[in-house]
């Protein structure tokens, strides 16, 4: 039986660990011809996970906030037939009170979360349009529905992705390319567990309908739905997966 993304070339940003690694392995299990991981960090662990899932992994070390490096990623993707799936997962999520947020930090957050997503999407979108089939998934965040204190810069950057999804979905709706957002809740990734964010887990879990911490694996089925052939009529949407915290 064919996988849900059988034969497709998929690019995942922020692929070195956490959600990115889980997404790469899931796409491989569902038949992606090649999974291309993009990150500034070492991706050896992701390569191993993809190979265990029966897939072929291509690691590209690139900074998506640099236009030239995004162009280089697009050139590499062309070598494998062109990208048809793009999962925009790269991002940073610092916790800092608004009045303590410097302009430099605000710009740093938006440069990766928003500008980087713009640059890599603009670089790869022509390949999907040319193929007449494509799936773009922006990994936003459930914070856009909740507005938690101490995360104003991050929330603003992730809300920008939802706006990008809505506008781009209409712009490319006649090309066979869909554009959607996935909005995870606070998820047990290495980054979350080794930063100040980990202190929020008890509070978040207490307010969820599902009373346990979210794992990266909780997001893969929704990601695969947004990437598969059967989701061709789903576009411009932000799908929330947070255990029933934000009931929007």
Q: What burial letters (b/e) apply to 146-172, b meaning 16+ CB within 10 Å?
A: bebebbbbbbbbbbbbbebbbebbeeb
Residue 193 structure tokens:
């567990």
Whether residue 80 lies in the annotated active site: no
CA distances in angstroms from 155 to 13, 17, 125, 161, listed in the order given = 19, 22, 25, 10
Strands 85-88 and 57-61: unpaired
> Within 10 A of 132 (CB to CB), how many other CB atoms are there?
10
Rounded CA-CA distance 170/83 in Å is 20
Backbone angles phi, psi at 202, to 5 degrees: -60, -40
Tokens describing residue 243: 């255990």
Query: How far, in Å, CA of 191 to CA of 136, rounded?
Result: 24
Catalytic residue among 23, 93, 118, 154: 154
Report, in angstroms and rounded to the nearest whole number, the Rg of the chain calculated over CA atoms.
17
Tell me the catalytic residues.
154
């Amino acid at each position: 039986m064919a996988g849900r993304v059988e034969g497709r070339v998929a690019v995942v940003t922020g692929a070195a660990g956490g959600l990115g690694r889980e997404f790469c392995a899931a796409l491989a299990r569902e038949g992606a011809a090649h999974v291309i991981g993009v990150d500034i960090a070492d991706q050896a662990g992701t390569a191993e996970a993809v190979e265990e899932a029966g897939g072929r992994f291509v690691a590209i070390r690139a900074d998506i906030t640099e236009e030239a490096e995004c162009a280089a990623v697009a050139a590499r993707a062309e070598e494998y037939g062109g990208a048809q799936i793009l999962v925009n997962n790269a991002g940073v999520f610092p916790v800092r009170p608004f009045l303590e947020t410097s302009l430099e930090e605000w710009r740093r957050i938006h440069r990766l979360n928003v500008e980087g997503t713009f640059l890599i999407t603009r670089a790869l979108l022509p390949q999907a349009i040319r193929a007449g089939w494509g799936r773009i998934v922006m990994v936003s965040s459930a914070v856009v529905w909740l507005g938690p204190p101490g995360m104003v810069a991050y929330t603003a950057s992730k809300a920008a992705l939802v706006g990008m999804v809505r506008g781009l979905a209409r712009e490319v709706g006649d090309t066979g390319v869909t554009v959607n957002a996935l909005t995870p809740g606070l998820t047990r990734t290495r980054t979350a567990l080794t930063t100040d964010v980990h202190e929020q887990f008890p509070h978040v879990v207490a307010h969820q309908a599902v009373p346990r911490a979210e794992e990266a694996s909780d997001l893969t089925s929704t990601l695969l739905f947004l990437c598969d052939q059967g989701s061709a009529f789903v576009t411009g949407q932000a799908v929330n997966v947070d255990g029933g915290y934000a009931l929007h």
